[in-house]
């Protein structure tokens, strides 16, 4: 099945010393944290909080892939690029890239699949309000 992805969203991020190992290179699990922050920016922290407190709905990582193509270092300013597609009413697929300034290719590529779950940790469909919000924001998305 061919997915219809949103346009790219951009989230700037500075690398702090605490993000790195002894050599000043980012410790690889931190890339997953940066991807998480960027996804939160797309949906919105207030919306995620409302969904959990009002509807008892949240999201969990179902699958993730990470490819590190070059090092990212202390003091770098990064552009975390994020786009998503709806695979079903239960699952979203997020393609994400981390770019250093003036780079010719992404330093890190990732793909994260998220599923919607209720407070009993059971799979549930994404609420219509969220789908409508994202569709209105991104008018190019086709829902399966």
Q: The pTM is what?
A: 0.89
- 2: in domain: no
pLDDT at 115: 97
Per the structure, how many domains does the chain have? Answer: 1
Give the structural domain span for 118. 9-138
- Rounded to whole angstroms, the Cα distance separating 124 from 91 reads 9
- 48: in domain: yes
Q: How confident is the model at residue 19 (pLDDT cuts 50, 70, 90)?
A: very high
The CATH number for 43's domain is 3.10.129.10
Write the pLDDT tens digit of every residue in 89-141: 999 999 999 999 999 999 999 999 999 999 999 999 999 888 887 776 665 44
- 3: in domain: no
């Amino acid at each position: 099945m061919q997915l219809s992805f949103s346009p790219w969203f951009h989230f700037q991020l500075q690398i702090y010393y605490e993000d790195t190992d002894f050599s000043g290179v980012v410790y690889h699990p931190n890339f997953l944290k940066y991807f998480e922050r960027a996804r939160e920016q797309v949906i919105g922290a207030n919306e995620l909080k409302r969904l959990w407190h009002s509807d008892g709905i949240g999201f969990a990582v179902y699958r993730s892939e990470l490819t590190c193509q070059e090092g990212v270092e202390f003091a770098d300013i990064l552009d975390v690029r994020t786009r998503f597609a709806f695979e079903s009413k239960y699952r979203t697929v997020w393609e994400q890239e981390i770019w250093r300034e003036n780079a010719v290719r992404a330093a890190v590529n990732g793909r994260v699949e998220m599923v919607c779950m209720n407070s009993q940790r059971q799979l549930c469909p994404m609420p219509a309000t969220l789908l409508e919000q994202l569709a209105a924001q991104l008018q190019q998305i086709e829902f399966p």
